[in-house]
Structure 1
Amino acid sequence: MKITVIGTGYVGLVTGACFSKMGNKVYCVDIDSSKINGLKNGILPIFEPHLGTMVRNGQEKGDLVFTTNIQEALDDSNIIFIAVGTPMAEDGSANLDYIFSAATDIAENISQDSLIVVKSTVPIGTCFKVKEHIDNILTERNINIHIDIASNPEFLKEGRAIEDCMHPDRVVIGAEKEEVFETLKDLYSSFVLNHDRFVLMDIKSSEMTKYVANAMLATKISFMNEIANICEVTGANVQQVRLGIGSDKRIGYDFIYAGCGYGGSCFPKDVQALIHTAQVNGYEPMILSNVEKVNLNQKKVLVNKVVDRFGSDLNGQTFGIWGLSFKPGTDDVREATSLVVITSLIDKGAKIKAYDPEAIDEFKRTIDEKYLDSIEFTKDRYSATENCDGLILITEWKEFRNPDFELLKENLNEYVIFDGRNIYDKKITQRGFELFQIGC
């Protein structure tokens, strides 16, 4: 098949690369010429394992084309995926400017009957508004072109996006016509050869499914973080509680690890968007509102533990930070706990040494410039602990799991570790360390 993917951000780039891997001709379109030129030269705008190799191979075989010329792409394809960003607006709603900009570009350049598939995460009813928007422009152009619309939400986990795309546990398709379902089933058939994993539904239900999936996972995380806080004040151990409930197949082990809060591009904005959707339709979502509040408070837990140990005046104190990205396997720092922890500590007078294997550059671009003078970024994990008064682990990259504790003793002024992801065994206290964890 010949496909156009509009948007070369996280979703668009991964989706386009994976479609091309299956032998389809894919045009990835973006208005950012510097990004497109970079991709043509193998320079990716994001870090994602295995994506670089797939992008290079796709271009070498001619199956993957990066371009700013949308007309060129649309002339040679009749399935068009919209995969642009829908960032959170100030009121918590989804900003759809990029969606309708893409829809306008399609309407002004399309030359044949096409299927338009919204891959982006959008509020319920957006697909129909996109179709109406395009139809209106086509009418103004006095061109008789028929378009169909579909919803096909993504369920990619950063750090494992290629695996999720190539081997999806389900493919959700929202459409109005049987022929649209069949077209998209044909497109995805090579991804689901072993099992029929298609979940077919109406368009609005498909749009809602994406939000509910992320909200459910965010709820599990926030619920377990609240349980962790209760464990701390009662003397229970959340790690043992996790094993006790995770073995219940109705609950499972995924997303029940207590920690210092969730972040990223999806959970925060999608929970906010679902709250906003409920409110504008006259319903106050108490559970979702408190999921968000629990998470915001959880990002401050490590700061509170530092203050409890060192006092509220941190002038003269330096802390080493391990991990800046919101999760391992990505350079994404959007809504990352590291931003809250580091800025809060600096506001209290502390200095910071920070290391992350992938996210340092993104962190520098994201954090308020006024804090940069108080942060030293290091090239390796142990340099970030030299002459520090404590180590704070925020992101559980694998290289942090089994450190050289004797070297840490040499580097740290005080043998104090704040473990924000509960990855260390309490036995390290027998080696002279103070260990502060979440809920245990």
Structure 2
Amino acid sequence: MFQSLQDKLNGAFKTLKGKGKITDINIASTVKEIRRALMDADVNYKVAKEVTDKVKQEAIDRKVMIAVEPGQLFVKIVQEELTALMGGKAETVNLKGSPAVVLIAGLQGSGKTTFSGKFANYLKKQGKQVMLVAADVYRPAAITQLQVLGEQIGVDVYAEPENKDAVNIARNAVAEAKSKGKSIVIVDTAGRLAVDEVMMTEVENIKKAISPSEILFVVDSMTGQDAVNTAKAFNDRLDFDGVVLTKLDGDSRGGAALSIRAVVDKPVKFMSTGEKMEDLDIFHPDRMASRILGMGDVISLVERAQQAFDEDEARKLNKKMRENNFDLNDFLGQLEQIKKMGNLKDVMGMIPGMGAAIKDVDISNDSFKPIESIIKSMTPKERSQPDIIDGSRRKRIATGAGRSIQEVNNLLKQFEQMKKMMKKFNAMTPGGKARMFR
């Protein structure tokens, strides 16, 4: 995420390394590099100039702080200005009404339908009664796609396959949701071009018919500056409440995320980073600024872990680890939990310092498949008692998993090393020390 921008900003800061203090000369040269980095990331020129002018002024005002290394001070200033540029703080959605109605709009191919499913899943996990509405009457597969997503997450989908009046469908859906006691209705509309007057009038009429409490504009972040221009055109017609950035896992530039708030004066509320229904996050400007600067995002990492890991299971696992009874069944379960956290490379990028280390490494959730296939080829007894796995068993396991004996050996060796580390860690804890001195 934003790897190209991160690399170029880091390059700009490197020019200050080893400098004893900030001077007008190195401020000017560094700001110039920062502006170039933002422009290369497809940030709106006016926005890039405004933010770098603020960075320059802040650096001049703070250059008396000789106790801080110039590079560190510049990173801090840029982090503050990027945070302010993207809105300063996370914004919530307005879900007022009975039911609350959310209208989803955006360009063709921006990921509206997938986001609608993710958003419904996000709300359902909060205990909300949600209904999805298929109001895209133009794309042949739109209704089917939404129904598949609804079935996947266990949310009702309202559709009228024979009706080609999107306004009428949306109106009927809200009435149906009210009669069924649904608390939230999410209306997925057709993708449209800002220059298509008929389509733009239709979405305006849908808005008038259902009076949504929240209108979200979905943007494909990979379209860069074009996304910002389109957002402005849509906002002029719909006056939407917030923006959703999709496909951020495939975007290395970040121009849309950095520019959109400044241009349309509407907050980015959500960001989507993968294909799974769980791959949706609230947009936190301060956390995003930290990630752009390679500082990681530990808070989001912890939040994802809390959502993915079952609390009761975690307690049981902690007990087994302390008693040194952690086995391959537990290990397999942990892999499943980690996969629930989303795109593996994105998750690792949240760890401070890891972004640069893995930028050229292809990390896929499929990376776990060889390990999973090996463990699943073992018998229940072998998983719970790995010590019994001798040469003949290793050969059988390798054949069953379609892997080499060397891979089986490596897995067992790594698992044994991990158990030894756990044992040492337990010995360092108060409970562990007590056991050692009995």
Q: Normalized per residue, which structure has more strand?
A: 1
The answer to whether the superposition gives a TM-score over 0.5 is no
Q: Which TM-score band (shorter chain)?
A: 0.3 to 0.5
Please identify the structure whose Cα radius of gyration is greater: 2
Q: Normalized per residue, which structure has more helix?
A: 2
TM-score w.r.t. length of structure 2: 0.36
